[in-house]
Structure 1
Amino acid sequence: MPATPAGLASLRLLAAVCILLEVGALPSRQSGFRCNDPDLSYPFTGETISMSVIAFITIIVPYLIIWTIETILHRDDEYTIKKNKLLASARTAAFIYRDYIYVAVVNLTVLEIIKCVVGSPRPTFFDLCEPDKLRTCNGSEYITSYTCKSLRFSRYLKIDSSRSFPSGHASLSVYSGLFLAWYLQRRAFSWHNRTVLLVPLVQVLCIIYAVVCPLTRMTDHRHHWWDVVFGAAMGFCSVLYTILVLCKNFSQPAVVSTSDISSSDGNNHQSVRRLLSSQPRVVVP
């Protein structure tokens, strides 16, 4: 995503549309249902992983991890003006995070639009909505027009009862989990580093999150299995685009260290300056 006023304005617009769709401020379609459908008759028991947890892990955690890794990788040299290490690494992390959050917002906006266009009932639809036609319809009659009469749940949950397809939790968890796992592999993992066991541990946690969160959407009966599969596929395609196209597989240049330069024979101050002013080398873990 270009770091321009137009680019930032488009990101804000997408985020605003996404929020309006999520809270029901924009109209959405209500799909019909069949009377006594067992797939829509599960009781609502809450969520194992709430939307606030998903938002925290998707928005906050990636930047903290990227900032930490870039701070560790950052190296100063004696021929450049000394800058605050945390500030310099935060700036580097911001470039990676910018591409990450841009695709996350686009992915979520597309997902919300699909939810509103399809209007698929959730497995807990009857419990959350309590449609007025449910008591009078017979057998497997298909109802297309109804009104939610539930007084036990909020307006948001009643609107959300018809937004099952696709799963936003699955899409965002797969996106953020796989993004961080691959970022750590490219930027932090090394067989010769003392963190050779720590980095894989964090990667495993990221992958577990990407797998367990979508599964909880089915065990909580918040989504049908096809909602989760499609949402996970959206997250997987989004992370491929972010890593390979926007982030160039995390092959950004690193600052040249004087410790690397001093180990070469015949180097003098003039050659060091020429080296530092030339194209930086690319670090390939």
Structure 2
Amino acid sequence: MPRNGMAAGSSIPQPAQTGLSGALVRFYLRSFPAVDYIALGCIVAGWILIQLFVTPFHRMFSLDSKANQYPFAVVERVTVVWSIIYAGVVPFLIILLWAVTFRPTRYKVQVTLLGFLVAIMLTSLITDIIKNAVGRPRPDLISRCLPKKGTPEYSLIPWTVCTQTNQHILQEGWRSFPSGHSSFSFAGLGYLSFFSSGQMHVYRPRTDLCRFLVALIPFLCALLIAISRLEDYRHDVYDVTCGSVLGLLVAYFSYRRYYPSLQSAACDTPYDRTEAGVDGFSKLPGDEEQGRGFGPRDWRPDEETFQLQEVGPPRER
């Protein structure tokens, strides 16, 4: 029997919120996850604006730098289009196939796809913001730049010495950190791996190894995409590592916004929409507020009581 007379696991009723805060809460509950779609639209709009109007910061470089003398690969192992297909389209289709096969609730399909879209688009936005702000030269920068004759070889030079006429190739030479292929692949395929692990209860005790290997496949595919950027001399290990970690963190953040921990017994079930941000920063009730502390205890007739017996002084023997 619980000490305070309440059933174990029962929730504490919260007072109804009134006024403007209550109206906002009720609007949020009725519109969730429509509010997240609006936020996703803002992320997409921000990413498009960066692609159209933002140019990277151009760090100065030196022609004698071994780190920037690698050849420019005309044919990439994984192009931008194929990276979108591998890490964006394929996971999206796999989630749709799962929805058609197992027929989960509409809400579950909705938040799963929404979390996936947020993961890849938020990762793309953050990656491009960092790329343009840092302006780190790529390993193949000198091959892209085609510096004019007479450029000093042993001193730092600005980007204006370049004679490259293709502005896309030239400007991309200062977008090395972090690797966009790596961050995008680990965001999309990483989210798919987290989702698969939750649906198959991979981290449940004594789970068979086959489920773990199935959930590991997307991670391995993302790793191969990231490694291809090293083979094409588009990035170095530092760029690829940081991009991979960024994509993985955003994927896990987006997944956990809608699903509980992978160690949870209910990891395959998304949070209910009524649990989404209702309490905000309100104070959680403590033991005293639940009747366990100060004031007379609220005894109930069905609780078991004990009669204390009087204890006299011990008799001498």
Task: Establish whether TM, by shorter chain, passes 0.5.
Answer: yes
State whether structure 2 residue 54 is matched by structure 1 residue 34. no
Closer, same or farther: CA 15–220 of 1 in aligned 2, 3 Å: same
* Cross-structure match for 1:256: none
Closer, same or farther: CA 200–145 of 1 in aligned 2, 3 Å: closer
Per-residue deviation, residues 255-280 of structure 1 (Å, max 9, x unmatched): xxxxxxxxxxxxxxxxxxxxxxxxxx
Query: Of 43, 48, 72, which residue of structure 2 is paired with 1:19?
Result: 48
Closer, same or farther: CA 177–216 of 1 in aligned 2, 3 Å: same
> Unmatched 5+ residue regions in structure 1?
76-87, 191-195, 254-285
TM-fit CA distance, 1:226: 0.8
State whether structure 2 residue 145 is matched by structure 1 residue 117. no
Per-residue deviation, residues 112-152 of structure 1 (Å, max 9, x unmatched): 011111111111111112234xx33334311135253124x
Moved more, 237-246 or 26-35: 237-246
> Unmatched 5+ residue regions in structure 2?
1-30, 203-207, 262-266, 271-317
Larger Rg: 2
Query: Of 91, 98, 102, which residue of structure 2 is paired with 1:62?
Result: 91
State whether structure 2 residue 72 is matched by structure 1 residue 44. yes
State whether structure 2 residue 159 is matched by structure 1 residue 148. no
TM-fit CA distance, 1:26: 1.9
Closer, same or farther: CA 13–182 of 1 in aligned 2, 3 Å: closer
TM-fit CA distance, 1:222: 0.4
Root-mean-square deviation (CA, aligned residues, Å) is: 2.8
* Cross-structure match for 2:170: 158
TM-fit CA distance, 1:235: 1.2
* Letter of the structure 1 residue corresponding to residue 70 of structure 2: Y
The size of the alignment, in residue pairs, is 230
Task: Give the number of the structure whose residues are more often helix, by fraction.
Answer: 1
Distance in 2 (alpha carbons) for counterparts of 1:57 and 1:126 = 30
Give the secondary structure class of the aligned counterpart of 2:257.
helix
State whether structure 2 residue 257 is matched by structure 1 residue 245. yes
Query: Of 205, 211, 223, which residue of structure 1 is paired with 2:217?
Result: 205
Seq. identity, %: 21
Closer, same or farther: CA 199–60 of 1 in aligned 2, 3 Å: farther
What TM-score do you get using the length of structure 1 for normalisation?
Answer: 0.71
Closer, same or farther: CA 11–179 of 1 in aligned 2, 3 Å: closer
Query: Of 186, 199, 209, which residue of structure 2 is paired with 1:174?
Result: 186
TM-fit CA distance, 1:202: 4.7
TM-fit CA distance, 1:208: 2.0
Asked if 1 retains the 8 angstrom alpha-carbon contact of 2:111 and 2:258, the reply is no
